[in-house]
A and B are shown apart, each in its own frame.
Chain A
């Protein structure tokens, strides 16, 4: 480690390391953030949910959008995997099916950035295990 020799050095290091713990900060303000839950049960993983999740994490970070991306259990739409649940701040959650990378990008560009719903919404028929 090189010594921090000035305030500018400190600020640089700060912005470098901030992302490391950003995830924790997000947890504290999740209600103000975009939340994406990726269904990650066996069927989901088999259908590429893991790649979808990674894509969301990387792309949103790349675009500088603060979002909480977590995995969740089977949502019961095994036919439509990978499925995600998207919650925009202050709005009810929406579930998308068949979320490939392309679909994911569309969701980001349209729904998350412009708040326009895109195709592929599955009617919600369950209650989340979280209250």
Chain B
């Protein structure tokens, strides 16, 4: 993992978040949520700052980050694609949809495309089981997705301008 240098501004931001939670080690998960919300991901250097501020070992921070699937140490693509792998989606074919996304983007789950445009992830039930199988691109939900639709979904974002289209 290449070392990154955090700007003073970023460090200040992290410190502020920690201070908001009283620099309490027991607030680690809340702090991580907030910081990831602001920075998009939690690289090693960020975890080091958090550990120092909360006065806990950086190993513990890393242990927590790697425990919870919500936290990521890799920056997500410009358009993060999440495929619901809940049971309802699974029995309605989400596996094939995932395979098609992998094939089209030539990346595995948890990776980003070389141009950093797309990243691919699985998520547990989003609760839109009526629309199964469900795919999310950013905040946008696509329902009843078939492998054949995958190409078009990607194309929507490829041109650089995400066109509004009906989701269900």
* A/B: CB atoms within 8 Å of each other: no
